[in-house]
Amino acid sequence: MTTPRISFEFFPPQTLDASFRLWETVQMLAPLKPSFVSVTYGAGGTTRKLTHEAVGAIGRNYGLNVAAHLTCVDATKAETLEIAEAYAAAGVTEIVALRGDAPKGAERFTAHPEGFASSVELVEALAKTGKFKLRVGAYPEPHPDAGFAGADVEHLKRKVDAGATSAITQFFFNVDTYFRFRDACVAAGIDVPIIPGILPIISWDGAKKFAARCGAHVPGALDEAFRVAARDGREDLLALTHCTTLCARLIEGGVEDLHFYTLNRPHLTQAVVRALGITPEVALEKVA
């Protein structure tokens, strides 16, 4: 089996305990030498300052290539581009450009009157600066706001045409979901890497809640398997087996990159990556 390139997603801490979890996560996963790591925005852009601080600290202290998330939510075009300039000044060369989730309490995304109306507009503006490699999101299953079959492929094509150089998918539970989407993208003329987003299942109830929010289909057989595993105390083993098998099948199907949504809980991600044949690089200390 070919060894894939890997990347990780972190989110910025909002409490002291969360801060300890983030740095434990980075310390555990950095030795696996990811090709990049990304740092999210909170819903509604609520962690803008924290994201910027986390991006800078991870880059400085761990020497990792950090892709900073940037969204269109609750900001003018000028404010959004100012944030991008601050990233550039901090040495960031990659941005994950997203529309973003609706602010807390709102049912749907509504563009700021003076802001970017979509991720396509954001990508186009960032591409004009010439300062960043631009990654975008992709939905292998219909986005909750998708208006028609094939809308997600069409929207991704527009983002690529606007300047995106790769896409990271929302997570999925069935490997065929990814392959169908990849084939549809190729048929539509999309020629950038489409990196599968992988969610190691730390909590099955939590994973199902995430799935309901983003439109990911939950297979009945997997739901039943986790119900039985919970009864027998084997949830961790099932989570490891499911995620490792999913990744192995993706690699067998020609996938070269995997992006892990760590949720700042590193142990399962680390175990999956090691099961795929990727081992930490340990620096040798000088000896007398």
Please provide the DSSP assignment of 75-89 as one string: --HHHHHHHHHHHHH
Q: At residue 124, does pLDDT exceed 50?
A: yes
Q: What is the pLDDT of residues 216-263, one digit of tens each?
A: 999 999 999 999 999 999 999 999 999 999 999 999 999 999 999 999
162-183 mean pLDDT? 97
Catalytic residue positions, numbered: 9
- Read off the tokens for 262: 């760590």
- Residue 241: enclosing H or E segment and its boundaries? helix 235-252
Q: What is the pLDDT of residues 175-210, one digit of tens each?
A: 999 999 999 999 999 999 999 999 999 999 999 999
Report the 10 Å Cβ neighbour count for 52.
18
CA 151 to chain centre: 20
Q: At residue 285, does pLDDT exceed 50?
A: no
pTM: 0.92
> Do residues 70 and 98 make contact, with C-beta atoms less than 8 angstroms apart?
yes
> Do residues 64 and 34 make contact, with C-beta atoms less than 8 angstroms apart?
yes
Banded pLDDT at 14 (limits 50, 70, 90): confident
40-63 mean pLDDT? 78
